[in-house]
Structure 1
Amino acid sequence: MALNKLFNSSEQRSISEISDRQTSFGMDSIFGSSRDSEKRWWTQVSKILEKDQTNGVHPVSIFRVPKTLSAFKPDAYMPLLMGLGPYHRFRPELYEMERYKLVAATKVRSEHFPTREFQELVDTLKEKEDEIRSHYHMYLDYDGNTLLWFMTIDGLFLLEFLHTCISKKDRLSSSWSRKPNLFESEGSKFAGHSILRDVVMLENQIPIFLLGNIFDFLDIDKNELLSMVTSFCSEVSPFKLIKKDLSLSEVYKHDHLLKLLYNWIVMNVKVPKEACPINMPSEAPYPEEEILPKVDAGSQVLCSLLKLSSNLNIRLVGKITKPINMIVNLPWATAKSLPEVSRMATNLDEGLKSECDVLGEDIKNPIVEEIMIPSVSALCNAGVEFCLSNGDISSIRFDKKKKKFYLPHLKLNVNSEVIVRNLVAFEASISDFLVLGRYTELMNGIIDTAEDAKLLKKKGIIEYSLKTDAEVAQLFNGMTRSIRPSKVPHIDITIEDVNKYYFGTRKVKVYMCMKKYVYGSWQILTLIAAVLVVLLMGMQSFCSVYSCPRFFNVSNDLGK
């Protein structure tokens, strides 16, 4: 009751200002616009300028996701159940979950400081107000007391949630909580998985130092906090984390949980001195779009020629059209064993044998530009063996002698896409050296179909609890190149080595020769076909008027 009274008395003035406007950072909010907003802005700015606090302001670490990323899949960056921190805290559709936060705060208070007022905990953070604000990219149009209150409540809720991530054995011996956890009941397990999805989002992060201050007030060993955050990272990381005994001081160097997880994942990747982004990659000697057959409108003329010649029983014309029919009906059994030729042959059969109605429909024209590297299936057909590496992302490599492609272990579940996308968004906000961005481009390039995902699963490279293999392919194919590309040396070297081997194999060389000399001659063939069509139409008109079976052996039902 005391908590609810304090909460209501502290936030009553702010909540009474609710209106139907949008806040200064473009989100729907229950707060309204008033003169108090201008006064708060003036107070914050004047305090910084007069006291020269710019040198002590912490660098921004919690960014808004750029539209170039969020436009493709906004649900991956926008919390759907729980808003933490100032960005989404007061969205009306998320405010229903406030009772969970209040229950968590009440539970902590009853266990750790039952004889003290909740306001005392909030007061310990007053000196940290400016530091809290400095972590966020956007201007926070909130009263200082209101900001400290909801940040404290969110911090307590987050700590209670992180406690569920440590093992049950450690949970029993923990001094943090002795009562049953909020998310241990059957009805709350689903909510727990949904909240986990929201906790990892970039715009939902809370500064770690705030959690440490709460531990100081509660007089709890901070090793409990260390255990919570490291267990959380191990639980949610899709990538293999190298075992490392992190100290509490190392944890405090990271501004929030997402940053800690990111740095743990890429800790062994060597960052070059000059990690300059590039405009366009050039990994493959043969662009993917050139590998696929292009069937133009001239081929339809050839189709018309074949259809017309099938209705004419002319020996002279048969001698001309016979070689063309042989090309169309060429046995492709041998060629289909070559990489990518199977799909090419299918397209030709459908296009040339069925009046060209479906020409080009099955040809792959990806809306999103992919990295230029063959798929898993194509590489396996070319003799490449995929192997599980024992390390993290830094262990990606291609052994040219043994023809082995080493990839790290990747664990996927229903929340993995959200986690990876937000890690990439955070990486794009702080660095030009996009390690995870390049990794997702690599996986997007080699995984095109469900068969590719299935092959990697058999090798133990990808482990997933998704329903179908196709969902894995869709996950990576949805990882669009919506951010600037970046060169990552060890991944780029691997891509170059794989392409050199693949395009240097005999099968692919034969296929490229066929593509160059056979399909390169279609334009000449279509020109010849156009001339022949005109001649045949003239010959058909001539034979319809004059009797010429003696010269050309025309069937009697020609005119019918």
Structure 2
Amino acid sequence: MDLNSIFESSSSERRWINQISKMLEKEVRIDINDVPVSIFRVPTTLSSFKPEAYTPQLIGLGPYHRFRPELYEMERYKIAAASRVQNQFQSLEFKQLVDKLNEIEYKVRASYHKYLDIDGETLAWIMAIDGLFLLDFLNSYVNKKDSLSSLSTTAFLVDGSGKKLANDAILGDIVMLENQMPIFLLSEILTIQSSSPDLGKNLLPPMLMGFCKAVSPLKLKEDLPLSQVFDHAHLLDLLYHLTVPKLEEHHETDNGEKGGASLGGKTSTDSGLPWKFITSLPGISNFTSKAKENIKRDRENLSGQEMKGPLVEEIMIPSVSYLFDAGVQFYPTAGDITTIKFDQKTKTFYLPVITLNVNSEVIMRNLVAYEASIASESLVLARYTELLNGIIDTDEDAKLLREKKIIINSLKSDAEVAELFNGMSKSVRLTNVSFIDEAIDGVNKYFYNTKKVRTYNRMKKYVYSSWKILTLIAVVMLIVLMSLESFCSVYDCTRFYGTSS
């Protein structure tokens, strides 16, 4: 590692030496297994395509984004909220809280993947202010009788719409991977502030669970005991494990795919079919006209945009519109992601309900980023987003799912839903999850065995292959006729044929 990338000044170098010296001393040595790294930097392959979905826009929590100048404007509101909560306890002075948190400095440092080039006292001040601010914000997600204060973090905004905008912006920042704070730190703050050691154990779990239920786009596990909240590293980790079930069987590969080629998917690049001839055939016009429009639109999009991250091939499955035209019915389930399935007998595709609002994309993206960071054995959430990306190509696809109550859309339009999912998979590698892939395989088998699609494939196989030969013959004949015309313009062709002018 290049030391110049770590040390920007001699003071940075001295801080590093001091930290390493203290960590090597017996009294501050910690077991890495007791405090595993859980707060990662988002890989460039993910963040480069849409950095604003991973970088705090209003509030910086913890050391990663604490000193960004554009976030300084909100510092006074954070301090006001922290001071308000501190005064609520009326136990310790703020400096006393900082000194107490300084004692667990290295336990806090161990949670962060990146080296923190700040001294221990500065880190303790950051954790005290940001921790109290976060507790104040989460406080609004519990019953008023159990809350810390009747005031809200956005109380400084008088206008109602301003409060809503500020609340949405803060909420989006709080769920970002790089903006996480350890749960044990929040519990420690509550314990230090109270004479009762059980305050953190009793008050924090309802806060965190209430927040997760309020913001999650998908249905959460409901049987998690509140005591198990402390088994999770931070808020995003808790939300992920409440959203993604623990599977008994895993099947994951990097590049494997099931099913046939998608008729309407963006992986198809075959646009040489004689569309005028095909679209005149009964029963085919609806399929082929949509395919032509999709291919044209996708090529324009790919050529017109600057790709900053790797483009991952879309999952091979027909879009909602094609499936619906082929007789597939869509039905919402009341369960979590594991309820995804396709019933061959009833031709029904079961999908869990997903609620979308202004923060849903940020939440989904950061959950997927966290899933990739912890090297999960089966990237269930990534595969789920790949499925939605595969079946939602246009606003018509999003509209059909909305009408079937599978998507609850609070965004401006169905087009925004399509844009959301079509953009999410551009930086996420494909993975295989058994129950999702079984549903994809079942849908593909049904779709490609329908009469319309088999007719289309036969026409594509025989007519298109013949069309290339006919095209070649036509080109040759055209060249011959043009050559003959040129020859006759120079020589008198009538004498060769014995005809009069």
> Please, what TM-score do these two structures have when normalized by structure 1?
0.78
Q: Deviations over 1:153-187 (max 9, x none)?
A: 00000011111233xxx22x135114465447434
**Equivalents in 1 of 2:427, 2:293: separation in Å?**
32
**Equivalents in 1 of 2:406, 2:276: separation in Å?**
41
Residue equivalent to 1:232: 211
Residue equivalent to 1:332: 279
Show the 5 A alignment for 1:433-448. Answer: 433-448=378-393
1:76 aligns to 2:53 (yes or no): yes
Give 5+ residue unaligned stretches, structure 1.
Answer: 1-21, 26-31, 297-326, 348-359
Q: CA deviation at 1:189?
A: 2.9
Assess, with a 3 A threshold, how the Cα gap between structure 1 residues 64 and 328 changes in structure 2: closer, same or farther.
closer
Residue equivalent to 1:421: 365
Q: CA deviation at 1:100?
A: 0.8
Residue equivalent to 1:303: none
**Equivalents in 1 of 2:131, 2:349: separation in Å?**
44
Q: Specify which of 484, 490, 499 is matched with residue 429 of structure 2.
A: 484
The answer as to whether partners of 1:24 and 1:141 remain within 8 angstroms in 2 is no
**Equivalents in 2 of 1:92, 1:23: separation in Å?**
23
SS of 1:55's partner is coil
1:404 aligns to 2:383 (yes or no): no
**Equivalents in 2 of 1:196, 1:24: separation in Å?**
32
**Equivalents in 1 of 2:367, 2:78: separation in Å?**
26
Q: Supply the AA of the counterpart residue of 1:515.
A: K
Show the 5 A alignment for 1:86-235. Answer: 86-113=63-90, 116-166=92-142, 170-171=143-144, 173-179=145-151, 182-183=154-155, 185-186=158-159, 187-219=162-194, 221-222=199-200, 223-235=202-214
Assess, with a 3 A threshold, how the Cα gap between structure 1 residues 254 and 346 changes in structure 2: closer, same or farther.
closer
Tell me how many residue pairs correspond in the alignment. Answer: 476
Q: Supply the AA of the counterpart residue of 1:241.
A: L
Assess, with a 3 A threshold, how the Cα gap between structure 1 residues 491 and 535 changes in structure 2: closer, same or farther.
same
Higher mean Cα deviation, 53-62 or 368-377?
53-62
Q: Supply the AA of the counterpart residue of 1:189.
A: K
Q: Supply the AA of the counterpart residue of 2:233.
A: D
Residue equivalent to 1:7: none
Q: Deviations over 1:182-205 (max 9, x none)?
A: 447434332111111100000000
Residue equivalent to 2:305: none
Residue equivalent to 2:255: 280
The answer as to whether partners of 2:278 and 2:284 remain within 8 angstroms in 1 is no
SS of 1:59's partner is coil
Larger radius of gyration: 1
Give the % identical residues. 50
**Equivalents in 2 of 1:425, 1:332: separation in Å?**
43
Residue equivalent to 2:42: 65
| Over 6 Å off, 4+ runs | none
Q: Deviations over 1:249-287 (max 9, x none)?
A: 3011001000000000012x41536x54x2323222336
SS of 1:411's partner is strand
Show the 5 A alignment for 1:499-518. Answer: 499-518=444-463
Q: Specify which of 348, 352, 373 is matched with residue 317 of structure 2.
A: 373
The answer as to whether partners of 2:267 and 2:316 remain within 8 angstroms in 1 is no
The answer as to whether partners of 2:30 and 2:107 remain within 8 angstroms in 1 is no
The answer as to whether partners of 2:319 and 2:390 remain within 8 angstroms in 1 is yes
SS of 2:129's partner is helix
Q: CA deviation at 1:331?
A: 7.4
Q: Deviations over 1:305-349 (max 9, x none)?
A: xxxxxxxxxxxxxxxxxxxxxx886473435646631245779xx
Give 5+ residue unaligned stretches, structure 2.
Answer: 303-310
Q: CA deviation at 1:523?
A: 2.3
**Equivalents in 2 of 1:523, 1:175: separation in Å?**
73
Question: What is the CA RMSD across the aligned residues, in angstroms?
Answer: 3.0
Show the 5 A alignment for 1:215-364. Answer: 215-219=190-194, 221-222=199-200, 223-247=202-226, 249-267=227-245, 269-272=246-249, 276=252, 278-286=253-261, 293-295=270-272, 330=277, 332-335=279-282, 337=284, 340-343=287-290, 361-362=296-297, 364=299
SS of 2:342's partner is strand
> Please, what TM-score do these two structures have when normalized by structure 2?
0.87
1:453 aligns to 2:398 (yes or no): yes
The answer as to whether partners of 1:162 and 1:232 remain within 8 angstroms in 2 is yes
Q: Deviations over 1:495-551 (max 9, x none)?
A: 111111111111111110100111122321122012210232244446666587xx9
The answer as to whether partners of 1:82 and 1:195 remain within 8 angstroms in 2 is yes
